[in-house]
Structure 1
Amino acid sequence: MLTSRVPAAVDGLLAVLRAAPGLADVTVVDGPPALNLTDRRLLFVGWQPGGETAVSLAQTFNGAGARTRDETFQIAGYIEVRAGDKDMQARRREVFAILGEIETALRATTEAPEAPTLGGAVLWAHLTAGDLSQAQAEGSIAGLAFTVTCQARI
């Protein structure tokens, strides 16, 4: 018996993001970072710095009779861009441009009608939160922790 749509939704989100033309030059990572990542434009699915939770979920019965359940969950994500210069404005604009590409990738289009459902894994998915961080350390770094909230029926 199916107990959660979380695994299929995370896989679907990764597939949608990896197929998005606007994210072709961004490295999409499943889960936490590995050591020695040298890419300057990274997008993590199921991980945020300092966070222990990849996905947070809650379920309730859909209605009387307890035949189906509604599941709501939030998938953690993080975007990081870095460069060797001190141009924080450029990093900030770049990280929000990537966030915009994520939002675009989650919208239904003629080419990707199933994008908001993450390939049929959920009823819908959308961006719902974000937190910007910035640092100067051997160059400029901007990070944006974001949340994709999903609604599913199981």
Structure 2
Amino acid sequence: MMTSRVPAAVDALLALLRARPALAEVDIVDGPAAVNLTQRRRIHVGWQADGESAVTLEQSFNGAGARTRDEAFAISCYAEARAGDKDMKARRDEVFALVGEVEQALRATNEAPEAPTLNGTVLWAHLTTGDLSQAQAEGSRAGLSFTVTCQARI
């Protein structure tokens, strides 16, 4: 018996991003990085730099009879661009371009009509919030914590 669509949705989001040609040179990470962060462009799914939860969720009965439940959840994500120079504008533009690719991956197209449903795992998914951070330390770094919000029926 299925109790949540969260595991399937996280897996589907990772697959969508890893299959996107524009993100071929970007490290798509499942959760937090466990090793040295040498990759200059990364997107984490199920993790944010200052966050504590990978996914927050809420369920309620869909209607009388308790046969189905509605599930709303938010997948915490984080994109980062870094370089050895001091060009903060370039890092900021780069990190927003990364998140723009995530947003495009979640849009329906002729080639990917099921993208907004994370290939059928949820009713819909979309990018809903973001929080930009910037730092100058041994180069420039821009990070963008963002949330992919989903609605599902179980």
SS at match of 1:56: strand
Distance 2:126 2:2 in 1: 23
| 1:78-112 per-position Cα deviation (integer Å, ceiling 9, x unaligned) | 00100000000000000001111110000011111
Deviation of 1:44 after TM superposition, in Å, equals: 0.2
Percent of matched pairs sharing the same residue: 75
Structure 1 portions without partners, runs of 5+: none
Deviation of 1:50 after TM superposition, in Å, equals: 2.1
Match of 2:141 in 1: 141
Deviation of 1:37 after TM superposition, in Å, equals: 2.2
Match of 2:123 in 1: 123
Deviation of 1:21 after TM superposition, in Å, equals: 1.7
Q: Aligned partner of 1:83: which letter?
A: A
Matched ranges for 1:37-116 at <5 A: 37-116=37-116
Distance 2:125 2:8 in 1: 12
SS at match of 2:37: coil
How high is the TM-score relative to the length of structure 2? 0.98
Deviation of 1:132 after TM superposition, in Å, equals: 0.1
Question: 4+ residue stretches of structure 1 with deviation over 6 A?
Answer: none
SS at match of 2:104: helix
Question: Which deviates more, 20-29 or 54-63?
Answer: 20-29
How high is the TM-score relative to the length of structure 1? 0.98
CA RMSD between the two structures: 0.7
Distance 1:31 1:98 in 2: 17
Question: Which deviates more, 17-26 or 91-100?
Answer: 17-26
